[in-house]
Chain A
Amino acid sequence: MLLTYASVKEQAEKRRELTNRIKAIIVERLSLDIEPELITDDQPLFGRGLGLDSIDALELTVCIEDEFGVTLYDDNMEVLGSINKLADYITENME
């Protein structure tokens, strides 16, 4: 596949739009005291990273389903590893 500047740029912009939307949703639904743009795509969401806990995980599951129509299962912790992991999962599972 030929990688052109324009086609990759378009793909990147689309991805950025999705990660920005996820960040905004997380901040709003979990009432986080942080500007969405200060959340980075690869930082851990739990523990040392954004500091979310298991209650937040439940809320996160609900709001991802509400906003994207995608179901998260509690046996798939990898999806909650970072904004990027969430974005990958949403992209793969959105109808």
Chain B
Amino acid sequence: MKTSILTQATKQQGTLTEVNGYAVVSTYSTEGAEYEALRNGVGLYDLSAVGKYLVKGDEHVEFLNHLVTKDIEFLDVEKTIYTLLLNEEGNVIDAVTLYKREESILIETSVQGRDAVGAWLEERKTGDVEIEDLSDALSILAVEGPYSWKAAAGLIDFDISLLPFQSFVENEIDGVQAIFCRNGVTGEYGYKVVIESEAAAGVWEKLLGHDASQYPVQAVGHSTLEVAMLEVRQPNVAVETADVNVFESCLEWVVSFYKEDFVGREALEAKRGEGVNRRIIGFSVEAGSLSEQDSIVLEDETIGTVLQVRDSGFLGKKLGLALVDELFAVSGIALEATNQAGERVTVQTISSPYILPKSWAIKIA
């Protein structure tokens, strides 16, 4: 598997895992300690394995606007947007973040979708656009947590409270040109730095060196990050879009349906016309063992499948996602699952966000 410069330099004793041929740190210490930092202090994570593609040229906005599900025609410079890339069949290739710069747009993919997005851009490329694969040359590192703004403030020379959500600035950090962005996936305050890979480890150490006397400051692995994403129903492409369409994944909110045309639009409309027969719903489990692919049942009828099960540190119980018959894809009801041992386990469908992020009650000073 391919390991980025930043991951190589900062993984320490962390456990590496392979995602789509790329190394990501699954856990640095323990999920409990990492979770504590992310939800109560500052959690730092390494996104160097994600894809980064720079799209430029006279027609770059039109080109990308045709490929993504959100309308980016009038997206302001120094703004980001979260959107989907669909294929002609209306299936999700990846969920990506676009960074609108003066003369170009930077695309941040998931690790899972990195190669697929690169291949898709090349396949759809027209003569008026240039696409540069900067996935190795650039690294992205992120801090999230109720006090992440305090740690991130040390990287910039302006008042961090002035940076709106989903906005970024292009600044020098320790003499190296970088994108400094306010964005996140856990419901907490979040900031990202996009910087040359050679300079990323220095920024990492600086953030990790933030004063930890008042709250925990810790590197957070992807395993903990996935739990935190699940707790606020941040889409996780690897879990929620495999053989599941946009409507079944409840990703309508990442699509601009008023937009006249984009790749996959006709297929989406056709799927919508056919009706949605199943949907993803979140659930919690008080007691009993449950695994992915276990069946959701009612009496003798199978009404769905478990897609994901994770321990929530905050709630002290298991959280999960299941794909169930549309009729039962609502919050606030009890269903049953049959586990590997053949036992019946009661699952309770629940409302997102499953936790209340501490950041919601804290003001950036």
The residues of A with any CB-CB pair to B shorter than 8 Å are: 1, 3-5, 8-9, 11-13, 15-16, 19, 33-35, 38-44, 47-50, 77-78, 81-82, 84-85, 87-88, 91
| Cβ contacts under 8 Å, B165 to chain A | 47-48
Interface residues of B in 312-365 (CB under 8 A from A): 327-328, 330-336, 346, 351-353, 356, 360-361
Is there contact, CB below 8 Å, between A82 and B82? Answer: no
Partner of A84 from the list B327, B336, B351 (CB cut-off 8 Å) is: B351
Is chain B's interface secondary structure helix, strand, loop, or mixed overall? loop
5 closest A-B pairs by beta carbon, nearest first, are A84-B351, A42-B352, A43-B253, A40-B250, A15-B330
| Cβ contacts under 8 Å, A42 to chain B | 233, 250, 282, 331, 351-352
Give Cα distance in the complex from A50 to B255, angstroms: 11
How many chain-B residues does the 8 Å CB contact rule pick out?
A: 31
Known contacts A8-B298, A15-B332, A49-B253; decide if A87 and B258 are in contact (CB<8 Å): no
A-B contact count (CB 8 A): 97
CB distance from B190 to the nearest CB of A (A): 11
The residues of B with any CB-CB pair to A shorter than 8 Å are: 82, 165-166, 232-233, 250-253, 257-258, 282, 298-299, 301, 327-328, 330-336, 346, 351-353, 356, 360-361
Is there contact, CB below 8 Å, between B352 and A5? Answer: no
5 A/B residue pairs, CB under 8 Å, sorted by A: A40-B251, A44-B253, A84-B352, A87-B351, A88-B351
Give Cα distance in the complex from A85 to B257, angstroms: 25
Give Cα distance in the complex from A9 to B324, angstroms: 13
